[in-house]
């Protein structure tokens, strides 16, 4: 399966919307950050979070404590992000642990911060 083609087909980007960052674990488990929104492929279906709805990207305290209590025992084992939305329920996503996790987290935090200005 071509992950790029799968993401672009499912996300249905607008003519002026560009893909920026992607995480692909499988056909029903992926995330795509575009120039306008975050699109999540989930077993329950597609979820689109426009940048304007993103209040913050964070990780759950319980997840941090569990990561440190496990054998991995450091921040590079974190893999769950919580997208806090302005007027809707938070969304939790699971991504690859390590540098990929922190890159995505920093990008989403920056998007949320820029949207507040």
Q: Is the pTM of this model over 0.75?
A: yes
The helix (H) or strand (E) run that includes residue 110 is helix 99-116
Is the distance from CB of 43 to CB of 22 less than 8 angstroms?
no
Domains of the chain by start residue, with CATH:
3-115 (2.30.29.30)
Burial of 48 (0-12, 13-18, 19+ CB in 10 A): middle
| 102, two tokens | 């922190």
Q: Given this model, what pLDDT does residue 78 score?
A: 84
In tens digits, the chain (117 residues) has pLDDT values of 688 898 999 999 999 999 999 999 989 999 999 999 999 999 888 999 999 999 999 987 776 666 666 665 567 778 889 999 998 899 999 898 888 889 999 999 999 998 765
Cα 72 to Cα 44: distance, rounded to the nearest angstrom: 30
Phi and psi dihedrals of 18, rounded to 5? -120, 145
């Amino acid at each position: 399966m071509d992950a790029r083609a799968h993401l672009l087909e499912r996300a249905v980007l607008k003519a002026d919307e560009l893909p920026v960052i992607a995480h692909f674990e499988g056909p029903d488990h992926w995330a795509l950050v575009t120039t306008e929104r975050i699109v999540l492929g989930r077993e329950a279906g597609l979820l689109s979070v426009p940048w304007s709805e993103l209040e913050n990207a964070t990780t759950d305290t319980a997840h941090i404590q569990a990561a440190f209590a496990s054998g991995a025992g450091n921040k590079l084992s974190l893999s769950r992000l919580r997208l806090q939305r302005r007027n809707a329920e938070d969304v939790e996503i699971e991504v690859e642990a390590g540098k990929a996790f922190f890159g995505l987290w920093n990008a989403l935090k920056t998007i949320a911060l820029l949207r507040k200005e």
